[in-house]
Amino acid sequence: VTAKLSPAIPAPSADNYFLGSLVSQWRDSGRPDAPAMLRADRTLAMAFETTRLAREEFLEQADWALGVKKFDVAKNLYEAAAKLDPEDPRTKSGLKL
């Protein structure tokens, strides 16, 4: 007996923006079939926090660059933040500015 299952896949969520960097790190490791070195719950928590802090750092530096009228630098920093979290409202407004 063969049964085909097709589980429902949830829609993408803006809260999962940090998973992109985690997946690219796994793909670039050279050994994607190797066992994980860290527990999944800790890895996900660490990836979330690291990505959140990187995004906040880019946004703070971009705001500073705007304040000193370094618009090209600010644009590059907002673009870097958008690569991490394209749905963030601060990033979107900074890119429009």
Mean pLDDT of 60-85: 95
Report residue 89's pLDDT band, with 50, 70 and 90 as the boundaries: very high
What pLDDT does 54 receive?
A: 94
Supply the pLDDT for residue 31.
82
Each domain of the chain, given as residue ranges in start order, spans 55-97
pLDDT per residue as tens digits for the range 5-63: 787 777 777 777 778 777 888 888 888 788 878 888 888 888 889 989 999 999 999 99
19-27 and 40-67 helices, crossing angle to 10°: 110
What pLDDT score was predicted for residue 90?
A: 92
Q: In 3D, which of 79, 74, 55, 56 has the Cα closest to residue 64?
A: 74
